[in-house]
A and B are shown apart, each in its own frame.
Chain A
C-alpha cells in the first residue's frame, strides 16, 4: 500500500529555518498538502498543491517539491509554530487520500 514517510521530529531555535520532508513514490504524480495541528486543536491547512499558501497563512510557510520528496519550510520560526505537521497526498486515482505519520516541530 502507498505510504508517505516523514521524520518523527525536527527541532530548531527561534528565528532559524525548519525543514520538514515527506517522501512517497506517487508524489511526482500527485500534489502534496501540509497541515499544522496544535495540541487539542483540529488540523489547519498551511500548504496546498505542493507550494501554494492559503489566505491567512503567514509568508514564512512555504512548500517545494523535488521528485519523490516534498518539503515544508518554515523560515524565521516562531514559538507559536511549535506543532505537529502532517503531509497528505492521494493515490494514483486521486480518490483515496493518505497522511504521512506526522512530524513534531519543537522550537527550542
Chain B
C-alpha cells in the first residue's frame, strides 16, 4: 500500500528556520516525483514544486523559488520542505504528494498534511 506520512504540526516564530518531512512507503521512492502543495487558511491549493528523489532533480514554481528549499534523502525514502527564515504569511497546511510520472502531471497519493503556524 502506497503511503506518504508527513511530520507533525509545527508552531514557530517569525525568523526561525523549519524543515518538514514526508516519508514514502509501499512503492519505489526513487522512481516517482514528490511534490509539495500549500494551502493557506480558507484558501485553495498552490503548487510549490517537485523533486525526483532518484537524482534530486528539482523544479520550483516561480512563486516559491528562493522562498523554500525542496530536498530528498533517498536512503530513507523521505522528502523535505524547508524554510530558512519563516514569515507569518507562511502559516498554512502543507501537503506532499506523489506525482504519477514525468508525462502525467497528476498527484495520485497525498500525505495527511503538516500544519505550520508562524506567530510571534
Contacts and interface: CB of A to CB of B under 8 A. Distances in A.
Interface string A26-38: 0000110101010
Contacts of A84: 44
A45 interface: yes
B29 interface: no
Contacts, number: 66
A43 B95 contact: yes
Interface stretch (A12-20, A58-66, A67-75, A95-103): A95-103
A97 B47 CA distance: 6
Interface residues of B, number: 24
Contacts of B59: 95-96
19 contacts: A1-B62, A30-B105, A43-B37, A43-B110, A45-B107, A48-B104, A48-B106, A86-B45, A88-B105, A94-B103, A94-B105, A95-B50, A95-B105, A96-B47, A96-B61, A97-B50, A100-B44, A101-B44, A102-B44
Interface of A: 1, 30-31, 33, 35, 37, 42-45, 48-49, 54, 84, 86, 88-90, 94-102
